[in-house]
Chains A and B, each alone.
Chain A
Amino acid sequence: MTEKPLAIRFEDVTQIFGKPGGKSTTALDGMTFDIAQHEFISVLGPSGCGKSTLLRLVAGLVMPTRGKVSIYDMPVTEPRDEIGLVFQRPTLLPWFDVLSNVTFPMKHKYGRVDAADKVRAQELLGLVGLSDFADKRIEELSGGMQQRVAIARALLHDPDILLMDEPFSALDALTRDEMSFELLSIWTQRPKTVVFITHSIQEAVLLSDRIIVMTPRPGKIREILPVPLARPRSVDTLSDPAFLELSNYIRRQLFSHNVA
């Protein structure tokens, strides 16, 4: 499919939640797909289709009930260093300033933050456009700024794989568009394999190389769609006929069960 090495592989992964004897829920059902290194993949689907579960499987935070998840051909048995996580809410630590929030993973994992970590954190703040905010308190930042700090925090240990769980869905519409382009710019400067969970069709089409479209509960792959849009993408991409065509196609797919 691509010449690039394989980053993430799902082989017939099924995830069932529930206690033995109790009611169980199938979150994901027989998921099989590959993600190439430095590919930008969006996972798109309605709420409750197991998108977040998929992300947690890659992160090694939950283990599949059946099937196999592997990263660089190694089965995921615990969280790995190649992973950076960004959540829907920024979840920064209000008792630290911005810089200490970015370096927090080092402090948390190794118990100390050295000068090199601080230099890298400062660079990353530059990358997300917050160079002058290093010593600001978290409550002084807007929601969009906080999410930029969260992205910088996730990039601190230079992970190969960035997992983003609806990272812009809590932001207002304007900030959300701005952040999409910001993320593209970051991704261009620091190529990563990105798994981007979203329920926004526009976001998925604008950002991704390929889109995994999911069905509602239990989550299955409806379709994996390549995005035939040239990079770098910009505001103009949004009015590209190919962009509109793909967006409409996905919309029809997702709503097909509602239309006679």
Chain B
Amino acid sequence: MAKALIPIRDWLLLWGDRFAPVLTFAALIAIWEAACRIFDIPRFLLPSPSYIVVGAMDQTVATWAANIWATVKIAFMGYILAIVVSIPISVGLALSRFLSRTVYPLLVVIHSTPVVAIAPIIIVVMGTSALPRVFITFLITFFPIVVTTTAGLMATPQELIELSRSLRATRAREVLHIRLPYALPYIFSALKISSTLAIVGAVVAEFIAAERGLGYFIELQTSFLKINQGFAALVLLVTISLCFFQVIGLIQKTFAPWSLPKKQ
């Protein structure tokens, strides 16, 4: 009797497990929608999911595309700048005690400065072009990359460094052949953290000075109390962040599968 039941239970467990994340979200949205209708929450305080969809439809595809592109462009440029600057700094910090005693405290101070607070100053100094927005994004993304990459470069097994020395290989090869590849799992972790921070940076910059972009859009629409439009932009931002994060994961899986965390 029990035998016939087990496959059904297994089937439910299997599919339940597979779709658990999707079901959770679907349930949350349903509760949200129901709550808005049952308690008659004012639309300008908390728009229901259906009203957010209506808001999204109010704008043309071209408007959304232009705003998405503006934000993604700034986030991406700031992110790339952060990578290009951070990795060499990390190599310097890992190899030179002098640099880690002089440059590192400086980086900590920069990181401890609230970016939101310094952003208006940066806009004043650098003007209203894309440059200050890229710079603000850079400021918010570079620190996790520097710290984590440096830790990775230092975590290289001492034996491999000794092997390198015993071969009298150059310092450049020690970094390129041993330290940097060994740091890759660390670097990818940092890149994942920074990928979502890059969106934060771009949006913060757009709040302060921009004429396009999802951050600017939210600022503009909420000032007209069009909360549902703001929510629609927010949903897009979350989606972009998630995609960004997934793309980094995909790059790691494709080009450095060995660096993925080992499953137990």
Contact = CB atoms under 8 A, between A and B. Distances in A.
A193 to B, nearest CB: 16
Contacts of A61: 162, 165-166
Interface of A: 56, 59-61, 78-79, 83, 85, 87-89, 91, 93-95, 104-105, 107-109, 111, 137-139
B173 A111 contact: yes
A83 B166 contact: yes
Contact of B166 (A60, A95, A137): A60
B40 interface: no
Contacts of A104: 177
Nearest to A165: B159
A113 B180 CA distance: 20
Chain A to chain B: the 8 pairs with minimum beta-carbon distance, closest first? A87-B159, A79-B166, A91-B159, A109-B167, A94-B258, A91-B157, A108-B169, A95-B258
A95 B258 CA distance: 6
B181 interface: yes
17 contacts: A56-B162, A59-B162, A59-B166, A61-B165, A78-B168, A79-B166, A79-B167, A85-B163, A91-B157, A91-B160, A93-B160, A93-B181, A95-B256, A95-B258, A108-B178, A109-B169, A139-B262
A30 to B, nearest CB: 25
Contacts of B177: 104, 107-108
Contacts of B160: 91, 93
Interface string B137-181: 000000000000000000001011011111111000100011001
Contacts of A108: 163-164, 167, 169, 173, 177-178
Interface of B: 157, 159-160, 162-169, 173, 177-178, 181, 184, 256, 258-259, 262
The B interface is mostly helix, strand or loop, or mixed, namely: helix
Given A91-B160, A111-B173, A85 B258 contact: no
B163 A91 contact: yes
A56 B166 CA distance: 10
A138 B182 CA distance: 14
Given A56-B162, A91-B157, A91-B159, 17 more contacts: A59-B162, A61-B162, A85-B163, A89-B159, A91-B163, A93-B160, A94-B258, A94-B259, A95-B181, A95-B256, A95-B258, A95-B259, A107-B177, A108-B167, A109-B167, A139-B258, A139-B262
Nearest to B160: A91
A84 to B, nearest CB: 9
A89 B157 contact: yes
B111 to A, nearest CB: 31
A78, A83, A85, A139: residue with the most chain B Cβ atoms closer than 10 Å: A85
B163, B173, B177, B258: residue with the most chain A Cβ atoms closer than 10 Å: B163
A104 B176 CA distance: 13
A234 to B, nearest CB: 31
B167 A105 contact: yes
Contacts of A88: 159
Contact of A79 (B157, B165, B178, B258): B165
A104 B160 CA distance: 11
